[in-house]
A and B are shown apart, each in its own frame.
Chain A
Amino acid sequence: MRLGPAPGGPRGRAVRLLPTAGANLSKLCGNQTMGSMKELRDIQASAHTHAHLDDLEAESIYIIREVVAECRRPALLFSGGKDSVVLLHLARKAFRLGDRPSELPFPLVHIDTGHNFPEVIAFRDTTVAATGARLVVGHVEDSIRRGTVRLRRDDDSRNAAQAVTLLETIAEHEFDAMLGGARRDEEKARAKERIFSVRDEFGQWDPKAQRPELWTLYNTRLAPGEHLRVFPISNWTELDIWQYIARERLVLPSIYYAHEREIVRRRRLLVPVTPLTPVRDGEKSEIVSVRFRTVGDISCTCPVASTAATAHEIIEETAVTEITERGATRMDDQTSESAMERRKKEGYF
């Protein structure tokens, strides 16, 4: 411990990293999704030229460590989606002490809409168990019970309601910084957000009053009730994410890879047929080989037609795609030009 008050925060304190019981990174790096040895060699050969991944990794690790150094009670948002898998992997690398297993110095947080792909929830639980991390789950269902989330109809998408549950979870656990896997290339409002982004006591983002963010000198100062959202992979693109997944051999929920699924075609989207999104009158479902590019609430996430069964094949598809990541997959972003900006202002990720 450091003596005497320092301006700003708890800086100077030593962070204790508890050893974990047997868990280590290699447990998270299987090869069940990785295909043949030849393919592994191909990926390693191409990864060799991806020096930009080293730069991005170093930037992200620096940011994650900065949060732990400056914030009292940080947490990492982990949904089991590919961006949060990369973020968790970066966090584990940031606090790995050579060959000693060590625990993350913060818990993981998942905001559960209750409308999930079962593969993703199973993956979330397996991953959390393997890392030995503490998982805090905020349930939209609880917010509905409290009356803080009101849906017009029972089967309304709960995606937007996540913001309310997230803010309630932050308040309950007194988190002051939430590490999130949002990327600036995802969406035009996100393109304008700082890496360390302040939320006021209502959880609101004010895009016109953002603090200037200079060099890597991040201002983490907060007034009571405020909190930070911190985005360590801001500067990664979808392609960078897949190249990194291939290089680091990260395991993802199986629905990220090509699989047969019952869908209906609605406007330009392939809508998965689920109990929450049934076939409507006059529609005909079909079985198509698809994969998910993003994974969110089951009621608003759509797959794309694909036969890409490995990270390497997805990299090839991503490099030549004609459609953006969210454009192809998210019903929630297409309601208006500023759908994401409005949700972000309300406290969304």
Chain B
Amino acid sequence: MNESVRHGVLRFITAGSVDDGKSTLIGRLLYDSKAVLSDQLQAIANAKHKRTGGEDIDFSLLTDGLEAEREQGITIDVAYRYFSTARRKFIIADTPGHEQYTRNMVTGASTAHAAVVLVDATRLDFSAGVPELLPQTKRHSAILALLGIRHVIVAVNKMDLIGYEEAAFAAIRTAYTGLAGRLGLADVRYVPVSALRGDNIVAASAATPWYGGPSLLEVLEDLPIGEAVASAPEALRFPVQLVVRQDTASADDFRGYMGRVEAGTVGAGQAIRIEPGARTATVAQVITPAGVSGSATAGQVVTLRLDEDVDVSRGDTFVAAADPIVPARKLRAELCWLAPEALNPARKYTLKHTTASVFAKVTAVERVLDVHTLSHDSGRQTLATNDIGSVELTLQKPIVCDPYAANSATGAFILVDDATHLTVAAGMIRAAA
């Protein structure tokens, strides 16, 4: 099936520093694409915490949903917004720029295909030519790189306040291109905009005649999603989510394994291996929500039946019988620490990976990323809130995993604190150690 047809939804996040105008940009996208309805406009025109004067619409009130946010004029949590054009359905995660809320940005980025990074052109110093980008821009971009966001769109905002100056746009572009190169962000596009005035958001603006490129919305509509599948077929990954059985009076008992195909294809008659444990079996039947099917591919939720009676539990993974993969008990990973309480290497945490939950210990902090310099500090032994570090983990039981760069579904994990039940870290597997 054609990829653009198959993927009807583009999920993207917005990131930037405080006051860069993220909420305003989203409000503008929603307004100009007619996703804002007249009663919402009426409500924000009547709002008590309006930041604009007179008749101007304060678009940020559309996404600042919570009372505390409207009072303080800041965004403190991820807001999800929805709009459609004739081409595509969009899901936006509006993520906060405040440093203490970086965890929310990581949350938004974990499910996004693309990111819009806002750079406030008025807050940079152009006296030395190429400006130094703000620390939050660097941190957010580092998170995007870490989370494997494939497409980044840099929206250079508030162009109206700097006289739509082409040289400033070019200088920011040069600065960000350097940052992207260091971070390994491959696909970066640049659009000069004014979210407040609507320049280059939906349609090309007359104020930037020197910019010949597409508007922000046109870029979003054209982004490829569901990247072309590699020429070699992907290896099967089917983590078992739930074991179901139905016992009847006859011999016709049902035992099935529910889950989502995370990579590759699974079909009736296929020889598989169940890991950990290296048991082998043959797929007898593939059931999709629509009914019995010959096969299923990545992204589909299915129920599989096997020919043999084997011991299978939630957390086990089906792979192809001949797949050389070996379950791992030691991992090297990037860890983004989200909790207020710092990592304690003496403690064990619960690691959640696909459908498996196992105890884990962080046995070594190899280095911590300094987002201001994008250099690494190898003298640290722990991770504090918002730190991004390279670590080594030892697991209580082995898991079937892949490098995050190869497959985010089988390469991602979270750490849960068994005492507070908080999600304390987001992890991306670099390699089995």
Contacts from A to B (Cβ < 8 Å): 2, 6-8, 11-19, 49-58, 61-62, 65-66, 68-69, 93-100, 102, 184-185, 188-189, 191-192, 207-208, 210-217, 219, 221-223, 234-235, 237, 239-240, 268, 321-324, 327-328, 337-338, 341
The distance in angstroms between the C-alpha atoms of A212 and B426, with both chains bound, is 9
Which 6 A-B pairs give the minimum distances between C-beta atoms? A52-B8, A188-B65, A327-B39, A221-B421, A14-B243, A214-B110
Q: How far is the CB of B70 from chain A (nearest CB, A)?
A: 7
Q: Decide yes or no whether B247 CB sits under 8 A from chain A.
A: yes
> What residues on B are CB-neighbors of A208 within 8 Å?
66, 68, 76-77
Contacts from B to A (Cβ < 8 Å): 1, 5-9, 37-40, 43, 47-48, 62-63, 65-68, 70, 76-82, 84, 89, 91, 103-104, 106-107, 110-111, 241-248, 254-256, 258, 260, 285, 287, 289, 291-292, 299-301, 303, 313-315, 338, 350, 352-353, 355, 357-359, 408-409, 412-414, 416, 418, 421-423, 426
Tell whether A192 pairs with B416 under 8 Å between CB atoms, given A52-B89, A327-B37: no
Q: For the complex, would chain A's binding face be called helix, strand, loop or mixed by DSSP majority? A: loop
Q: Is the CB of A222 within 8 A of B289?
A: no
Which of B40, B80, B103: most chain A CB closer than 10 A?
A: B80
Closest to A49 in B: B5
> What residues on A are CB-neighbors of B62 within 8 Å?
188
Q: How far is the CB of B125 from chain A (nearest CB, A)?
A: 34
Pairs across A and B, CB under 8 Å, 13 listed: A15-B245, A18-B246, A51-B7, A52-B89, A100-B246, A188-B62, A192-B78, A212-B338, A217-B352, A217-B353, A217-B414, A219-B414, A337-B70
Q: How far is the CB of B154 from chain A (nearest CB, A)?
A: 24
> What residues on A are CB-neighbors of B313 within 8 Å?
2, 12
The distance in angstroms between the C-alpha atoms of A60 and B9, with both chains bound, is 15
> What residues on B are CB-neighbors of A94 within 8 Å?
258, 289, 301
Q: Is the CB of B285 within 8 A of A328?
A: no
Q: Is the CB of B421 within 8 A of A328?
A: no
Q: Is the CB of B37 within 8 A of A324?
A: yes
Identify 6 new A-B residue pairs, CB closer than 8 A, beyond the known A15-B244, A235-B82.
A8-B350, A19-B246, A191-B81, A239-B84, A322-B38, A327-B40
Q: Is the CB of A62 within 8 A of B260?
A: yes
> What residues on B are CB-neighbors of A192 within 8 Å?
65-66, 77-80
Q: Is the CB of A222 within 8 A of B421?
A: yes
Closest to B40 in A: A324
Q: How far is the CB of B401 from chain A (nearest CB, A)?
A: 13
The distance in angstroms between the C-alpha atoms of A53 and B7, with both chains bound, is 10
> What residues on A are CB-neighbors of B65 within 8 Å?
188-189, 191-192, 341
Q: How far is the CB of B159 from chain A (nearest CB, A)?
A: 28
B8, B76, B80, B246: the one within 8 Å of A16 (CB): B246
Q: Is the CB of B412 within 8 A of A51?
A: no
Q: Is the CB of A337 within 8 A of B48?
A: yes
> What residues on B are CB-neighbors of A69 within 8 Å?
241-242, 314, 355
The distance in angstroms between the C-alpha atoms of A92 and B78, with both chains bound, is 31
The distance in angstroms between the C-alpha atoms of A346 and B423, with both chains bound, is 24
Q: Is the CB of A324 within 8 A of B245?
A: no
A54, A212, A223: the one within 8 Å of B103 (CB): A212
Q: How far is the CB of B396 from chain A (nearest CB, A)?
A: 9
The distance in angstroms between the C-alpha atoms of A240 and B47, with both chains bound, is 29
The distance in angstroms between the C-alpha atoms of A235 and B90, with both chains bound, is 10
Q: How far is the CB of A329 from chain B (nearest CB, A)?
A: 11
Tell whether A215 pairs with B409 under 8 Å between CB atoms, given A8-B357, A65-B301, A97-B287: yes
B70, B245, B300: the one within 8 Å of A17 (CB): B245
Q: How far is the CB of A93 from chain B (nearest CB, A)?
A: 4
Q: Is the CB of B256 within 8 A of A97?
A: yes
Closest to A7 in B: B350
The distance in angstroms between the C-alpha atoms of A229 and B249, with both chains bound, is 37
> What residues on B are CB-neighbors of A7 within 8 Å?
350, 357-359, 418
Q: How far is the CB of B68 from chain A (nearest CB, A)?
A: 7
Tell whether A98 pairs with B292 under 8 Å between CB atoms, given A12-B314, A221-B421, A327-B40: yes
Q: Is the CB of A102 within 8 A of B246?
A: yes
> What residues on A are CB-neighbors of B359 within 8 Å?
7
A52, A65, A97, A328: the one within 8 Å of B246 (CB): A97
Closest to A185 in B: B82
Q: How far is the CB of A278 from chain B (nearest CB, A)?
A: 26
> What residues on A are CB-neighbors of B248 within 8 Å?
19
> What residues on B are CB-neighbors of A2 within 8 Å?
313
Closest to A102 in B: B246
> What residues on A are CB-neighbors of B81 within 8 Å?
185, 191
Q: Is the CB of B245 within 8 A of A14?
A: yes
> What residues on B are CB-neighbors of A99 within 8 Å?
291-292
Q: How far is the CB of A330 from chain B (nearest CB, A)?
A: 11
Q: Is the CB of A324 within 8 A of B91?
A: no
Q: How far is the CB of A42 from chain B (nearest CB, A)?
A: 18
Closest to B427 in A: A214
Tell whether A51 pairs with B79 under 8 Å between CB atoms, given A58-B301, A65-B258, A94-B289: no
Q: Is the CB of A55 within 8 A of B247?
A: no
Q: Is the CB of B301 within 8 A of A62?
A: yes
Q: Is the CB of B40 within 8 A of A191?
A: no
Q: Is the CB of B414 within 8 A of A214?
A: yes
B80, B111, B260, B414: the one within 8 Å of A191 (CB): B80
Tell whether A98 pairs with B37 under 8 Å between CB atoms, given A7-B357, A11-B315, A50-B8: no
